[in-house]
A and B are shown apart, each in its own frame.
Chain A
Amino acid sequence: DTAVSQTPKYLVTQMGNDKSIKCEQNLGHDTMYWYKQDSKKFLKIMFSYNNKELIINETVPNRFSPKSPDKAHLNLHINSLELGDSAVYFCASSRYSYEQYFGPGTRLTVT
């Protein structure tokens, strides 16, 4: 069974559109994260949720809005997509600050 899953795996869309990426974990973890990995493979934290509460919101444009309907899900909605949003987005989960389990990633391409 997949521990952390994300959908879709690939997302190609035009500038100005609104899109969502979904993430689910079945590990019973209390904390979930969204990371952005750029073309140089640099991985940067965007958001972190603990028990459905937002605890980290890095300097991310407010066009990005995370939503956690329950502890097992953390979705990422992006409004008015820009070319610079093209990247691979990873969802992850963990228990406390221990090892994180990553999803397979969503490759977003904005044209």
Chain B
Amino acid sequence: SQQGEEDPQALSIQEGENATMNCSYKTSINNLQWYRQNSGRGLVHLILIRSNEREKHSGRLRVTLDTSKKSSSLLITASRAADTASYFCATDAKDTGRRALTFGSGTRLQVQP
């Protein structure tokens, strides 16, 4: 079953605006990660936030994690046309020994120049 569900499924904004994507998950986690996928390409890791962290920044990216609500958000500030891609959250479930991530359904972001 899907661990992560993302919201919205698609988002279209103008260059310079901020983009916010949300992710909800179901089980306890060790960490939550965000990935970007450009059309026709593999996924690229953006940022990892551990279960004991609440907020993390990397350049124009800001990730929050609320383990009580089992949710996370990814904020991209001052968006650029090059940010156009699909964004996926992925969770590393706790105490399963699976050593695998469970990916959400993704948010398609379109940044209009």
29 contacts between A and B (CB under 8 A): A33-B100, A41-B37, A41-B105, A42-B103, A42-B105, A42-B106, A43-B43, A43-B88, A44-B103, A45-B100, A45-B101, A55-B98, A56-B100, A92-B42, A92-B43, A97-B31, A97-B92, A97-B99, A98-B31, A98-B48, A99-B33, A99-B45, A100-B45, A102-B43, A102-B44, A103-B42, A104-B41, A104-B42, A105-B41
With A31-B99, A56-B99, A98-B31 given, can you name 9 additional A-B contacts, CB distance below 8 Å?
Answer: A41-B105, A41-B108, A56-B98, A94-B99, A97-B31, A100-B43, A102-B35, A104-B42, A105-B42
- Most chain A C-beta atoms within 10 Å of own C-beta, residue among B41, B98, B101: B101
- Most chain A C-beta atoms within 10 Å of own C-beta, residue among B99, B106, B108: B99
Contacts of B35 in A (CB 8 A): 102
Q: Interface SS of chain B: helix, strand, loop or mixed?
A: strand
0/1 string, B3-26, CB within 8 A of A gives 1: 000000000000000000000000
0/1 string, A20-54, CB within 8 A of B gives 1: 00000000000101010000111111001010000
Q: How large is the interface on B (under 10, 10 to 19, 20 to 34, 35 or more residues)?
A: 20 to 34
Q: How large is the interface on A (under 10, 10 to 19, 20 to 34, 35 or more residues)?
A: 20 to 34
Q: Interface SS of chain A: helix, strand, loop or mixed?
A: strand
